[in-house]
Structure 1
């Protein structure tokens, strides 16, 4: 778990109190103050002492910070640059991150389509295939398998999938994205139980054929950057 004590330091400023004053009044050991400055975890006893000293609640001095997602960076030739990138920060002009799109098809020729949750910041409640960024240390296949498990709760067999398309996208929706996109196609005839997903990114899933997906696309209910489905993905099943 990651924590931040930024609220504590702001509160000290408001109360015109130094960190040294806090340490003495709350009877906190120097090494504990070092942990606080480094945003490291301390005991509830310590936090209680601070709250009592400042007449504050836990939420006034500490907050949970989700662990940052780290990506490997590549050049345009897909060679690792040996640099890490924190998701959400501006990508360097010569650095690219690896993204996977995962299409899952059953023996009936239907595709497993996911509707994005209402709380997603982009395209809420719009339909798409499973997709996501490959994280540090993963290759494309590992990223594809993990994303499918996280989003729709399905464990795919590595040997049942292959890359049908790779592309580089520098600009998307007027924004620099610097993506190397691998499009995967997996064969799968097993059960799909969304309760096995490890995130809440997906509202619901459905098996759909080409015509049903086209209806969603024409109704602007399918992510428009996935239009390649009708030429690149579908031709794999012919």
Structure 2
């Protein structure tokens, strides 16, 4: 877990109080103040002292900050550059990251399709396959298996998957996209229970055949960048 005390420092500015003043009034040890300045965790007792001194609540002085997602960077030839990249920051012009699309098919020829949650920043409530970015230290296969578990709660077996094709994407609509996309196909006939997912990225799932997926496309409720499905996945 990561925390930030930026709210506390802004509050001190508003109250025209120095950090030294706070330390003395709240009777906080110097080493504890150092932890606060470094955004390190401190005890609830300390936070309570600060709240009492400033007449505020916990939420006014501290906030949770999600851990940043880190990617490995590759060159255009898929060779590791030995550099890390923080998700959300601008990619360097010569740096690429790995992305996986994971199509899951049962023995009936149906595909496991998921609807994005309403709180997703892009394509909310649109339908798609499992997918996402490969994180630092993973290869494409591990990334595909992790994404399936996180999004739809499915445990895929490595031996049941294959890469159908790979595509390198550079600049799209004037924006540096820079990813190397592996499109996976896994055979799976096991249980699907969203309760086993480890994130809330997906609202619901359904097994669909080609015609049902095509209908979603025609009604503009399937992510349009996945139109390759009809030519490269379900040929």
Q: TM-score, normalised by structure 1?
A: 0.96
Deviation for aligned residue 1:174: 4.6
Match of 1:8 in 2: 8
Deviations 1:155-174 (A, max 9, x none): 01100001011011123455
Equivalent-residue separation in structure 1 for 2:92 and 2:141 (angstroms) = 25
Tell me the SS of whatever aligns to 1:135: coil
Structure 2: which 5+ residue stretches go unaligned? none
Equivalent-residue separation in structure 1 for 2:173 and 2:115 (angstroms) = 21
Equivalent-residue separation in structure 2 for 1:57 and 1:115 (angstroms) = 38
Tell me the SS of whatever aligns to 2:151: helix
Tell me the SS of whatever aligns to 1:28: coil
- After superposition, residues 220-235 of structure 1 pair within 5 angstroms as 220-235=220-235
Q: Which runs of 4+ in 1 moved over 6 A?
A: none
Tell me the SS of whatever aligns to 2:119: coil
CA RMSD of aligned residues (A): 0.9
Structure 1: which 5+ residue stretches go unaligned? none
Equivalent-residue separation in structure 1 for 2:25 and 2:180 (angstroms) = 54
Match of 1:86 in 2: 86
Match of 1:42 in 2: 42
Tell me the SS of whatever aligns to 1:89: coil
Q: CA, structure 1 residues 192+101, in 2 after alignment: closer, same or farther (shift >3 Å)?
A: same
Q: TM-score, normalised by structure 2?
A: 0.98
Equivalent-residue separation in structure 2 for 1:106 and 1:168 (angstroms) = 28
The alignment covers a number of residue pairs equal to 235
Equivalent-residue separation in structure 1 for 2:27 and 2:94 (angstroms) = 50
Tell me the SS of whatever aligns to 1:164: strand
